[in-house]
Structure 1
Amino acid sequence: MAYNEFLSDRISQFFKEKGVNFYEKKMFGGMCFMVNDKMCVGVVKDEVMARINPDIYEEALTKKGCSEMNFTGRPMKGYVFLNEDATDLDEDLHKWLQIALDFNPLAKSSKK
Structure 2
Amino acid sequence: MAYDEELAERIREIVYPRPDLDERRMFGGLAFLIGGNMAVAASGKGGLLVRVAPADGDALLDGSTIAPMVMGGRELHGWLRVAPEAVDDDAALREWVERGVEFARTLPRK
- TM-score with structure 2 setting the length: 0.88
Aligned length: 108
Shift of 1:62: 2.4
Tell me what 1:3 maps to. 3
Shift of 1:108: 5.2
Counting only pairs closer than 5 Å after superposition, residues 1-112 of structure 1 correspond to structure 2 as: 1-16=1-16, 19-21=17-19, 22-45=21-44, 46-62=46-62, 65-107=65-107
Q: Which structure 1 residue ranges, 4+ long, deviate > 6 Å from structure 2?
A: none
Unaligned runs of 5+ in 2: none
Is residue 69–residue 80 contact of structure 1 (8 Å, CA) maintained in 2? yes
Is residue 40–residue 104 contact of structure 1 (8 Å, CA) maintained in 2? yes
Report sequence identity in percent: 26
Unaligned runs of 5+ in 1: none
Shift of 1:109: 6.0
1:23-45 C-alpha deviation (Å, 9 max, x unpaired): 11011111110111111111112
Judging by fraction of residues, say which structure has more strand.
2
